[in-house]
Structure 1
Amino acid sequence: MTREQAIQKVAELIRGIKFCMLVTQTDEGHLHSRPVTTQDQEFDGDLWFIGGKDSEWVQDISKREQINLAYSQPDGQNYVSITGRASLVEDRTKLEEVWSDFYKAYFPEGIDDPNVQLVRVETHGAELWESSGKLASAFQTAKGLLTGNQADMGTNQSVALE
């Protein structure tokens, strides 16, 4: 699969999933997950987020840039785990592009709040799990139970994004 095909495949699977789990490493070396909001933009190999400069996850990224993002679409039984390098970006034009009034709940001064931090994730690779859907998965599970054969639960593949 080419890089362009991999990007297209990941874009297809994460499209419409508003929240994902972002995993960073803490000062103690522990992995820490928390939900973050993916910006509503076409995936081109980079993902963008807005966080608070004083938030733990932004502080983690300022010290250790390697992250993981986990996307889940249980209704379609599709899952994506993305690895990448996060960076803290000061780019007013990009911030204006991704900003929405949703963030006023977190940043009372709006886009000019001094705590607003734009975060870019340059993706390295992704692990994809795709199912044929809930009904097909239920059928495959029942078939596996009845026949004693392993159920076909869809496809799994790793793709390079850099």
Structure 2
Amino acid sequence: MSDLSHQDAVKKIAGIIKNVKFAMLTTTTAEGHLHARPMTTQETEFDGDVWFIGARDSEAVADMRARPQVNLAYAKPGDGEYVSVNGTAELVEDRAKLDELWSDFYKAYFEGGKEDPNIQLIKVHANGAEFWESDGKVRTLFQLAKGALTGQHAHMGQNDTVKL
């Protein structure tokens, strides 16, 4: 577990997930199975919460309504950065927030546009996260090769778990 302060932990996670357009959102189904699906992360500053727009009649929303514990996975492989966020999903009805988050991109999913009654705001309150940062592809490959040749432990970057 990290010694990062809450504020530093939030900043660290925010820095990793910034500009990652899609997260894999994992829910638990009625049968107890884990199910991951891509969701578009809204372009808001991460403050411990992450916002999504989903469909009220979707399996994902039904799963969160019954079992709100979820996980979000973000990846920036080109930068060697990864984060897994565990949290609690809240299904939110807030017209002002929908106005803030809405973009015409969602017209492809909701025939009625912003007025579509099937729109569901999803707010994930982060409980904690684990992140991985490597030194980049070239250095990582070098460390792997060095470790294989010398038998020494390869330094692969930073890995930490933080409580949010």
User: Which band: TM-score by shorter chain?
Assistant: over 0.9
Amino acid at match of 1:58: V
Structure 1 residue corresponding to 2:73, chosen from 66, 70, 73? 70
Query: Please, which runs of 5 or more residues in structure 2 have no aligned partner?
Result: none
2:153 corresponds to 1:150: yes
| CA RMSD, 1 decimal | 0.6
2:135 corresponds in structure 1 to: 132
Secondary structure at the counterpart of residue 38 of structure 2: strand
Q: Residues 2-151 of structure 1: matches in 2 within 5 Å?
A: 2-151=5-154
Q: How far apart are residue 107 of structure 1 and its match?
A: 0.4
**4+ residue segments displaced more than 2 Å:** none
Q: How far apart are the structure 1 equivalents of 2:115 and 2:29?
A: 28
TM-score of the two chains, using structure 2 as the length reference: 0.97
Amino acid at match of 2:59: E
Query: Please, which runs of 5 or more residues in structure 1 have no aligned partner?
Result: none
Q: How far apart are residue 142 of structure 1 and its match?
A: 1.1
TM-score of the two chains, using structure 1 as the length reference: 0.98
Q: How far apart are residue 155 of structure 1 and its match?
A: 0.8
Amino acid at match of 1:90: E
Tell which deviates more after alignment, 9-18 or 138-147: 138-147
Q: How far apart are the structure 1 equivalents of 2:35 and 2:86?
A: 14
Q: How far apart are residue 149 of structure 1 and its match?
A: 1.3
Over the matched positions of the two proteins, sequence identity in percent amounts to: 57
Q: How far apart are residue 38 of structure 1 and its match?
A: 0.3
Q: How far apart are residue 147 of structure 1 and its match?
A: 0.7
Secondary structure at the counterpart of residue 105 of structure 2: helix
